[in-house]
Amino acid sequence: MRWSVKPLDATFGAVVEGIELATLTDDDFAALYALWLEHALLIFPEQHLDNAAQSRFAQRFGELEFDTTPISNVRRDGSLRNDDGTDDVVHILRGNMGWHCDSTYMPVQAKGAVFTAHVVPERDGGTEWADMRAAYDALAPAKRSQLERLCAYHSLYYSQAKVGHRPRQGADYTYGFDGQEPPLRPLVKVHPETGRPALAVGRHAYGIPSLTEQASEALLDELIEAACQPPRIYEHRWRVGDAVVWDNRCLMHRARPWDMTRPRVMYHTRIAGDPQTESGVSASA
């Protein structure tokens, strides 16, 4: 292989250099896809993808849940959004600082995402990931047996309400606030391509049917706290031009705080999940 592949100092992830994502051949992409399944997170420094190139690269992983879009505290006119509790987009940015997997609150969970850095603050504002395969492996056998019988509901309404956000009529941000029924998802997810089990929790999860509200919340909080510890976590400090792709079926992630008087402009392309493997389960399961 012509590329340099350097595993992270964690249970997952690798930095890949000597590669141009915009010009990959089909054979090169097949090799890259195998690396992605192995490492779950691939980091590509100095790619400087424009939106069209980012979309084309993401589409090689499958159909898109949605096309390349900004995740940013900068409005279209270049002004900064107000961090005073009145801006719905800022509420979402704040919510994204909690551990989560993308679109677990939608009928079909996302397969993965491509993320690029266009404007980064001088300090802070990284992104952190957690390996939920290794988190499952670290559980005691009795705990695994308990969790394999349990499910939880997932809702963006629930997770945003916990950070004090309730969507308003005519708000700038509406994705995930479509009044859909919250899907029920197992607490242990088996990866459809690798066969590896992983914990499936995060900030959108709540209401384990067989437990009281208090017991459910306590268990879910306990699992996130135990899972998101070294060596199962990695925080990336962004540089302009960086690109990453991660596997949403086995990693959680969260944005890290930054001074919101400073601009941060990232672009996100979400890869759609397969309805056969990424849909919720029956409430009677």
Identify whether 85 is part of a domain. Answer: yes
Identify whether 280 is part of a domain. Answer: no
Identify whether 235 is part of a domain. Answer: yes
Q: What is the pLDDT of residue 248?
A: 98
User: Worst-scoring range by mean pLDDT, 169-178, 185-194, 222-231?
Assistant: 169-178
pLDDT at 27 over 60: yes
Q: How far apart (Å, rounded) are the C-alpha atoms in residues 99 and 51?
A: 26
Q: What is the pLDDT of residue 86?
A: 87
Identify whether 279 is part of a domain. Answer: no
Q: How far apart (Å, rounded) are the C-alpha atoms in residues 255 and 163?
A: 15
pLDDT at 243 over 80: yes
Q: What is the pLDDT of residues 113-151, one digit of tens each?
A: 999 999 999 999 999 999 999 999 999 999 999 999 999
What is the residue range of 51's domain?
4-273
Identify whether 65 is part of a domain. Answer: yes
Domain count, the chain: 1
Identify whether 101 is part of a domain. Answer: yes
Identify whether 109 is part of a domain. Answer: yes
Q: With the C-alpha atoms ordered 23, 62, 252, 223, is the resulting torsion angle positive or negative? A: negative
Looking up residue 132, the CATH number of its domain turns out to be: 3.60.130.10
- Closest C-alpha to 39, from 159, 129, 138, 168: 129
Cβ(242)–Cβ(15) below 8 Å: no
Identify whether 150 is part of a domain. Answer: yes
- Read off the pTM: 0.96
